[in-house]
Amino acid sequence: MLTKIIAHRGSKGIRPENTLPAFEKAIEEGADGIETDVHMSKDGHLIIMHDETVDRTTNGQGRIMDQTLMQLKTLDAGSYFGYAYLGTQIPTLNEVIQLLIAKKFKGIFNLELKTDKIQYPGIEEKVLAYMNQQELPFKVIYSSFHPQSLVKMYSLNPDIEYASLFKVQTKFARRLYRKRLIRDWHPDIRWVRAHRFFLPHVQLRPWTVNSDDDMRYCFKRRFDGIITDYPGRAVIIRKSIQGG
C-alpha cells in the first residue's frame, strides 16, 4: 500500500488555502486526499475556512460565527495570495463537495470540525445531515482537536471513520482509540519525529509534512498518509521511494 498524500487545505502551498482553486489544483496534482476545515456562519451555513476569523485570509474582519453567508460571500479570499486570485470567494461545504463530485474525485475527503475554540451549536448534526444527503464517490474521514465533537459524531453515526488531531497531548487520542471511537491519529509531524522509537500501532497521518526530509521519513516508514501543503512535490518523492 502506498502512503496516501492528502492535500492540506487544498494545494495550500501554491494556491489560496481552502478555496476552490486550491482543491482543484490538488486533484490535478494527483493528491489521494483533500483535507479541509468547517465552521458555521451566523445563519447556520457550513463554511470552509481554517481560522475562526476571516482576518488572515480575506479582506474582511471578524468571526465567521458573527457573519451571515451573504456577508461572507462579499469577501475576497484570494487576493492575499496574488493578483491572479482576486475575487476568489470563501466556499461553503456544499460548493466543495459538488466540485469534488464534478471532478470525479475518488480519494479521501478529510473534514476537520473546527470546534476546539468555538463550539458551534449543532454543527455535528448539520454536517452529518448534509453529507448523508449526498451520493459521494469518495471516502469521508472526520477529524477534530475537540474530543467531544468526535464522541458526538460517533454517537450519531458509528460506521464512519474518525481521527483524533493533536500537537503534543495524546491523552484524549489514546482514550478515544481504546474505546474504538476513532481509528486514526493525525499528529503534528514534530511529535512523530520526537516519538519515532515509541510510535503506537495505529494509522498515522502526520501534518503538516512539507519538507522533502519529512516526506522521505514518512514514506520510508510507510505511514498510512501524510497531510501536506505540497501534494504535487509529495507525489514525485513518494514515487522515488515507494514506486507506484
Which sequence positions are flagged as catalytic?
Answer: 8, 50
Domains of the chain: which residue ranges? 4-242
pLDDT value, residue 186: 98
Q: Which of 28, 27, 25, 3 is nearest to 13 (CA)?
A: 25
- CA–CA gap between residue 146 and residue 142 (Å, rounded): 12
The whole-number average pLDDT for the span 56-85 is: 98
* Residue 171 three-state SS: helix
Q: Which of 205, 7, 199, 187 is nearest to 109 (CA)?
A: 7
Class of domain 4-242: alpha beta
Please report which confidence band the pLDDT of residue 244 belongs to, taking 50, 70 and 90 as the band edges.
Answer: confident
Please report which confidence band the pLDDT of residue 109 belongs to, taking 50, 70 and 90 as the band edges.
Answer: very high
Measured CA distances, 25 to 31, 80, 92 (Å): 9, 18, 18
The cell for 13 is 502551498
pLDDT value, residue 104: 98
Task: Look at residue 154 and tell me whether its pLDDT is greater than 90.
Answer: yes
- Per residue in 79-108, pLDDT tens? 999 999 999 999 999 999 999 999 999 999
Q: Is the Cβ–Cβ distance between 228 and 8 less than 8 Å?
A: yes
The whole-number average pLDDT for the span 179-191 is: 97
Please report which confidence band the pLDDT of residue 125 belongs to, taking 50, 70 and 90 as the band edges.
Answer: very high
pLDDT value, residue 136: 97
